[in-house]
């Protein structure tokens, strides 16, 4: 009986981890939640941020920051692209301060340095799991 309870607990905890959604289920962030870095930059590049699917925090948006400026509010299974000048950039995630529910009551700040070359894209992935909460990871571009 104890073994059954222990295994059930492990399966429930594992269910909180996020997973990469299949390409046909990933949707672009709607225009009303894309807040900055949407205009092409001559000689610039692109930062692409994809949020995994999964149960942890799925009812909340995550704020995406580029160079510490709010760029988008991203939901689960969504992807956003940001047009940026070439060079060193800071990509970050945080709580959605535009939300007035419990989603805006926590603490979250994760940042990664990115070097964007002219005409190139840098890809990031927002994951969540029961051990570390939300994390921002460098990612490889997904095939279409």
pLDDT value of residue 10: 38
Alpha carbons 143 and 135: distance in angstroms, whole number: 23
Q: What is the mean pLDDT of the chain?
A: 84
- Say yes or no to pLDDT of 72 above 70: yes
Cα-only R_g, the chain? 17
- What φ, ψ does residue 91 adopt, rounded to 5°? -110, 130
105-144 pLDDT tens trace: 778 899 999 999 999 999 999 998 877 788 999 998 765 5
- Say yes or no to pLDDT of 96 above 70: yes
Q: Which residue has the higher pLDDT, 24 or 119?
A: 119
- Within 13 A of 124's CA, how many CA atoms are on the CB side? 28
45-51 and 78-84 as β-strands: parallel, antiparallel, unpaired? antiparallel
pLDDT value of residue 125: 95
Q: Are 79 and 29 in contact (CB under 8 A)?
A: yes
Alpha carbons 86 and 107: distance in angstroms, whole number: 30
Q: Which residue has the higher pLDDT, 102 or 43?
A: 43
- The CB density around residue 98, as the number of other CB atoms within 10 Å, is 13
pLDDT value of residue 5: 38
Rounded mean pLDDT, 83-103: 90
Which CA distances in Å does 56 have to 5, 18, 19, 119, 126?
22, 7, 11, 35, 12
Instruction: Tell me if residue 12 falls in helix, strand or coil.
Output: helix
Beta strands in 4-131 (DSSP E): 27-28, 45-51, 62-66, 69-74, 78-84, 87-95, 109-116, 121-129
Q: Which of 10-14, 94-98, 102-106 has the lowest mean pLDDT?
A: 10-14
């Amino acid at each position: 009986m104890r073994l059954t309870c222990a295994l059930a607990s492990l399966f429930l905890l594992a269910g909180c981890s996020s997973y990469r959604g299949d390409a046909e289920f990933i949707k672009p962030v709607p225009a009303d939640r894309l807040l900055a870095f949407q205009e092409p930059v001559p000689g610039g590049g692109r930062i692409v941020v994809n949020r995994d699917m999964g149960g942890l925090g799925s009812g909340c948006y995550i704020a995406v920051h580029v160079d510490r400026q709010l760029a988008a509010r991203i939901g689960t299974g969504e992807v956003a692209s940001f047009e940026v000048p070439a060079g060193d950039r800071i990509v970050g995630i945080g709580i959605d301060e535009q939300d007035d529910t419990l989603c805006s009551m926590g603490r979250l700040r994760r940042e990664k340095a990115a070097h964007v070359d002219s005409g190139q894209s840098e890809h990031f992935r927002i994951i969540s799991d029961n051990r570390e909460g939300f994390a921002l990871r460098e990612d490889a571009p997904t095939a279409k």
